[in-house]
A = this chain, B = another copy of it.
Amino acid sequence: MSHFERTETVRFAHCDPAGIVFFPQYLVMLNTLVEDWFDRGLKIPYAGFITGRRLGLPSVRLEVDFTAVSRLGDVLVQRLQVLHLGRSSLQLAATYLGADGELRLRARQVLVCTSLDDHRPRPLPDDVRAAVPAFMENDA
């Protein structure tokens, strides 16, 4: 396997007066995708990563192409892959697809591992470094 997948239903709370997903809500979903990837993909509990180790993963770069609208009740298949594993950073690629396979968005995000105390970069912990390569595009 080289990508992680989860699905999420578009909720009333995600939608705007146009009846479609309000774009910042797609990014709330993106954070949840990363949380589930930690928990079920990397098998490293996200809550423990944040609360226990007092590490954070703030975004330093985000690029999104919104290619089609999503409506209340749509089921979005969200896929995540790792493009690059740095010393402190992770570059992720995500796609959201409708149930019919239509691409709804394509995102790239660079996250940096930081301390919650001083918000300065920290090396990604060894267990994360060991688990990430299974989700890289060209893993051997």
Residues of chain A at the chain B interface (Cβ within 8 Å): 11-13, 15-20, 22-25, 27-28, 31-32, 35, 45-48, 50-51, 56, 58-67, 69, 71-73, 114, 116, 119
Contact = CB atoms under 8 A, between A and B. Distances in A.
- Classify the secondary structure of A's interface with B: mixed
Given A12-B31, A22-B12, A71 B47 contact: yes
A13 B24 CA distance: 9
Contacts of A35: 11-12
Nearest to A18: B56
A127 to B, nearest CB: 17
B17 A58 contact: no
Contacts of A58: 18, 20, 23, 66, 69
Given A48-B73, A66-B62, A119-B69, A16 B17 contact: yes
B60 A72 contact: no
A41 to B, nearest CB: 15
